[in-house]
Amino acid sequence: MLKQENIYKPIKAKLTEVIDESPLIKTFILIPEEEFAFGTGQFIELSVDGIGEAPFTPSSSPHVTEKLEVTVMKTGYVTEYMHNLKPGVFMGIRGPYGRGYPVEKFFGKEVIILGGGCGLAPIRSLLYALEHVKDNLQKVILCYGSKTPSDCIYKPLFSRLNKIEKFEAYRTVDKADSEWDGPVGVATTLLNKININLKNSVAVVCGPPIMMKFGTLKFLEMGYTDDQIYLSMEKNMSCGLGKCGHCMMGEFFVCKDGPVFTYNEIKNTPDIWK
């Protein structure tokens, strides 16, 4: 075997627990066999042995290094296998890759986070990271939308966030059920109800492509500048190393230059909302 570090070789991680978050979403709790640390918003390539790997941003705190949580929506070939995994098996991890959220740039500011669907996974990690440095922040507001109340993941997170000083969390659903008594409408409608200091805040958007687009447009309409808006882009990263070409978005390798970009960096790049 070669002596130098092999960039393609995963480390093993034991799956210790699987949490059902919603009918299509599960959280996998993993204990890596080797030391593993990541920055919030960075992603990993998570593999099912012999089946395939796919990119995910961990949903756990970057300050907790002994275990790693990854929230996965069943949406394709690899994720369907993942959803059938039982605790005890080993999965493969490569990474962490890319440029995550620049938390230190948020110091002294209000952080307004707009999330939708499974986009709450990277956001939860960001929220943990922001909680860790809350003394340096003005406030943190989460506006989250899911299709139905049962599609909402991490339900206990919302009441917990609302108890933390400087944190506010709001939920909406596209379609209510009999038990839902909260707001109904897409996630961007929540932005109409919050108090912000526009000049001294940053906006973070993470969700399905359609929400990324309309969320960004909404923030622009509210008066945010292009470089106040942070987007977490989703592409089919295969290698994570800026080589394989699958995640190219214009001149950017989303895996290496991103996945977190300011809108200013990518606004002239074609097909960013696809």
Please name the residues in contact with 84: beta carbons below 8 A apart, sequence gap of 6 or more: none
Per rule CB under 8 A, is residue 131 in the interface with another protein?
A: no
Asked if 39 touches another protein (CB under 8 A), the answer is no
Nearer to another protein, 47 or 61 (CB): 47
d(CA 97, CA 109): 26
β-strands 167-173, 139-146 pairing: parallel
Cis omega (within 30 of 0) for bond into 10: no
The distance of Cα 111 from the centroid of its chain, to the nearest Å, equals 15
The single residue among 39, 92, 102, 183 that binds another protein, judged by CB under 8 A, is: 92
222 binds another protein (CB under 8 A): no
Q: Does 197 bind another protein (CB under 8 A)?
A: no
Nearer to another protein, 72 or 191 (CB): 72
Residue count, binding to another protein (CB under 8 A): 45
For the beta carbon of residue 220, count every other beta carbon within 10 angstroms: 16
| CB neighbour list of residue 168: distance below 8 Å, 6 or more residues apart | 139, 140, 141, 142, 161, 162, 194
251 is a site residue for another protein (CB under 8 A): yes
Please, which residue, 129 or 272, has the CB nearer to another protein?
272
From 4-12, 57-65, 100-108, 183-191, span contacting another protein (CB under 8 A):
4-12
When asked if residue 26 is in the footprint of another protein (CB under 8 A), the reply is no
Residues 146-175 that bind another protein (CB under 8 A): none
In single-letter form, the type of residue at position 31 comes to: I
Q: What is the DSSP letter of 189?
A: G
Residues within the interface to another protein (CB under 8 A): 1-2, 4-10, 12, 47-54, 75-79, 92, 208-209, 234-236, 238-239, 241-251, 256, 271, 274
